[in-house]
Amino acid sequence: MKATIFHNPRCSTSRKTLALLQERPGLEIEVIDYLKTPPSREKLKALYAKAGITPRQGLRAKEDLAKEMNLASASDDGILDAMAANPILIERPIVETAKGVRLGRPPENVLEVL
């Protein structure tokens, strides 16, 4: 099985989630540093749909930029536009497999799609 993790190496939760994936025997892991290689707006929309969450639930709402941009009152489309332009706004980590997508908060959430 293959798992893709949208990862921020500076985030302890993201590192814990990656370590959890690495403990799984036979799991092929693709690591995408989403700050360097951000997913497109369309990819984010598809990931959130597969995860069964809204873009708002995938937003780092406590990020200063989210507050500056007043994203608390933005539409889902506005949030997706903001995330595509500013990937620091994407809550991390996101793990995608053939079985689905999960936000790794807490890291154990990703076990559901392995």
**Which of the residues are catalytic?**
11
Give which of 52, 55, 57, 91 is closest to 76, Cα–Cα: 55
Give which of 3, 1, 2, 22 is closest to 94, Cα–Cα: 3
Strand order from edge to edge, sheet including 2-7: 28-33, 2-7, 94-97, 100-103
